[in-house]
Structure 1
Amino acid sequence: MEKKRSIRLGIVGLGAMGSEMLDVAGRHPEFEVVLAADPSAQAVERARVAHPQVPCTQDAEELLDHDGLDAVYIASPPATHAGFAVRAMKAGKAVFAEKPLAVDLAEGEEMAAVATATGAVNALNFVMSDRSAALAVGRALRDGEVGTVLGVDMRFGFPQWPREFQQDARWVAGRAQGGFLREVASHYLFLTDRLLGPLSPVHTHVAYGVAGENAASGLFLAGDVPVRLSGQVAAAPETYEWTLHGTERSYRINDWGDLWLGDHSGWTRVELDSPRGSEETRLTEFARAVRGEGSTLADFAAGLRVQQLVEHFHREIR
């Protein structure tokens, strides 16, 4: 059998996520990292030490102009996503980007439109696209185990923002590009959109403190199903909780992937025997998309729907 040629990948942005994806792609059998870029000399030097075989540059333009790339992974700050992604897609490259799609709605719309017009492979790194817990809830819905869906609640709490691993990314705290709505809630809004269909905002509110968002609440509708969101930065444990309420069974996903089954007697932890889902599995899904084999990843159209919901919270300050 003929061996598949490696997908030649460029990585833009070498912060927390870009560095992790560089590690994953560097050992992934379907990818060859051809070039990595970040404007920070310190970030480039860290990458060179960790991956001496990967050429690095501080010039993203050099990477985007590189003729030897099949695909680009974008992990730079959200305000730069559109410029990098549109240029890459118009050059015939596949694009895998971190969420959010963008922070400016016009730029998000452009990204989705260019993806459609060029036919370029496009994907966003929403972790719930292949989390085993999320897939299990999807199967339960399709099999009718939930009964009638009565509602969805998502609840988030953070003792500090940005979180410890994001302290070096100053933009994560600011109103312009950061906040837990874009960084965290977007994953769960995507999951709800995927399972129940597009959401319509009814009411959203966000309050700001010195370090950006410190409280948010929202009500959306998926058809006639209410979807409620609340989150805050407060003196309390870190919390990630998404709950689907049904007439027969309810399901809860805690801490990014722990699944609980609820019925009239209470909640029971569900032991899952399938892979949890990771940067590696989603990179494999991206390889499938590049090779035209289909993929579970979110595309830019789904990313735009999520962006519209998130930015509805921020519309009052525009």
Structure 2
Amino acid sequence: MGEHKRVRLGVVGLGAMGGRVFDIAVGHPDFGVVRAADVRRDAVDRVAAAHPSVVVSTDPADVVDAADVDAVYIATPPSFHADLAVAALSAGKAVFCEKPLAVSLSDGRRMSDAAASSGLATAVNFALSDRDVVLELERRLRAGEAGTVLGVDVRLQFPKWPRAFQADALWLDGREQGGFVREVFSHFAYLTDRLLGPLRAVDVSADFPSSGSETTARGLLRAGEVPVHFSGLSGVAGPEVYEWTLWGTEQSYRLRQWTHLEIFTNDTWTPYDPGLASGSDATRLTLFAQAVRTGSAPNLADFPVAYRVQEAVEAFHAVS
């Protein structure tokens, strides 16, 4: 596919995340959005009214099997990811998927295997993939500025789950597919995997109410020999917290609320100012278009990487 030619994109799932990425893709110079599907008629009707040139359907197969689609973006609840992604890859289409990769490990393995067999581009939309602060963390670690890495702490805290912007996604408050471990911890598991290597669960657990997703999760994992401690709470009387801290012998790094990086050196935390912030759904679409055209893209997780992350995430469900 020539670099001058737009990637013809089909979108499956038009909820909070899918609708947002659809809107970005419609205006993106690397893509032409040609088809969209959602099982909800009201979501399809909204797209049809605003974008009459896009072919819409309530049947995802009308996107996945369409001859005029080069790549499929999947933003359905995660239990549907595997069947859709495997079908799309089998039909010769690259796939950009929301996280988590899947819920069951067998589904995740199917997706990873299908990606390897097809040779086509695959990617999972981890929000930290191409953030400027992550690239800076990566640079400092590769340069050895942290010294010896002694450990990582991850802390998540939610006054309300699901969060307000996801209130319509009822599956997020169910144990079968939802919960903050899958939806949010997966981002920080990906970050740790990327910087330090694959995670393995050592001693992890989660507490579930009689119905709904987990209210607490805690555990020890390791990236190689580096201990990774995780603590998460929902329904707490307190602020919403997203915090990832790496402790080194020379420098330590704290990432707060997704975008704020602080560096501990000379006995104080100093904010890192990246200048112009980077990293967004739009830039990850740019990277995905590059992967479709060339077979690879920097700073974008493919299905095998996302499967490693899924193994760490699902360990909390396997023992609880």
**Shorter-normalised TM-score: what interval?**
over 0.9
Tell me how far apart the structure 2 counterparts of residues 79 and 15 of structure 1 sit (CA, whole Å): 15
Deviations 1:230-270 (A, max 9, x none): 10011110000001111111111111111111124221111
Q: Aligned pair 1:202/2:202, yes or no?
A: yes
Pairing of 1:35-184 with structure 2 (within 5 A): 35-184=35-184
Pairing of 1:167-316 with structure 2 (within 5 A): 167-209=167-209, 210-233=211-234, 234-292=236-294, 294-295=296-297, 296-316=299-319
TM-fit CA distance, 1:54: 2.0
Contact 1:241–1:252 (Cα < 8 Å) also in 2: yes
Contact 1:71–1:93 (Cα < 8 Å) also in 2: yes
Q: Which letter does structure 1 place at the counterpart of 2:79?
A: A
Q: Is there any run of 5+ residues in structure 2 with no aligned partner, and where?
A: none
Contact 1:100–1:303 (Cα < 8 Å) also in 2: yes
Q: Secondary structure at the match of 1:229?
A: strand
Tell me how far apart the structure 2 counterparts of residues 72 and 253 of structure 1 sit (CA, whole Å): 32
Tell me how far apart the structure 2 counterparts of residues 69 and 244 of structure 1 sit (CA, whole Å): 42
Deviations 1:71-90 (A, max 9, x none): 00000010000000000001
Tell me how far apart the structure 1 counterparts of residues 217 and 252 of structure 2 sit (CA, whole Å): 24
| Number of residue pairs aligned between Structure 1 and Structure 2 | 316
TM-fit CA distance, 1:24: 0.6
Tell me how far apart the structure 1 counterparts of residues 263 and 295 of structure 2 sit (CA, whole Å): 33
Q: Which letter does structure 1 place at the counterpart of 2:230?
A: L
Contact 2:207–2:217 (Cα < 8 Å) also in 1: yes
State the identity as a percent: 51
Q: Is there any run of 5+ residues in structure 1 with no aligned partner, and where?
A: none
Tell me how far apart the structure 2 counterparts of residues 59 and 36 of structure 1 sit (CA, whole Å): 9
Tell me how far apart the structure 1 counterparts of residues 51 and 208 of structure 2 sit (CA, whole Å): 40
Q: Which letter does structure 2 place at the counterpart of 1:216?
A: A
Q: Secondary structure at the match of 2:215?
A: strand
TM-fit CA distance, 1:47: 2.1
TM-score scaled to structure 2, two decimals? Answer: 0.96
Tell me how far apart the structure 2 counterparts of residues 117 and 282 of structure 1 sit (CA, whole Å): 24
Q: Secondary structure at the match of 1:52?
A: coil
Q: Secondary structure at the match of 1:242?
A: strand
Higher mean alpha-carbon deviation, 268-277 vs 141-150, is at 268-277
Contact 1:89–1:115 (Cα < 8 Å) also in 2: yes
Q: Secondary structure at the match of 1:291?
A: helix
* CA-based RMSD: 1.3
TM-fit CA distance, 1:5: 1.0
Deviations 1:85-136 (A, max 9, x none): 0000011100000001100111100110111111111110011110111111
Deviations 1:149-172 (A, max 9, x none): 111111000000000010000001
Contact 1:257–1:276 (Cα < 8 Å) also in 2: no
Structure 1: 4+ residue segments shifted above 4 A: none
Tell me how far apart the structure 2 counterparts of residues 171 and 113 of structure 1 sit (CA, whole Å): 26
Tell me how far apart the structure 1 counterparts of residues 190 and 159 of structure 2 sit (CA, whole Å): 24
Tell me how far apart the structure 1 counterparts of residues 77 and 248 of structure 2 sit (CA, whole Å): 38
Deviations 1:165-220 (A, max 9, x none): 10000001100000000100000000000000111111111001243110000111
Contact 2:216–2:232 (Cα < 8 Å) also in 1: yes
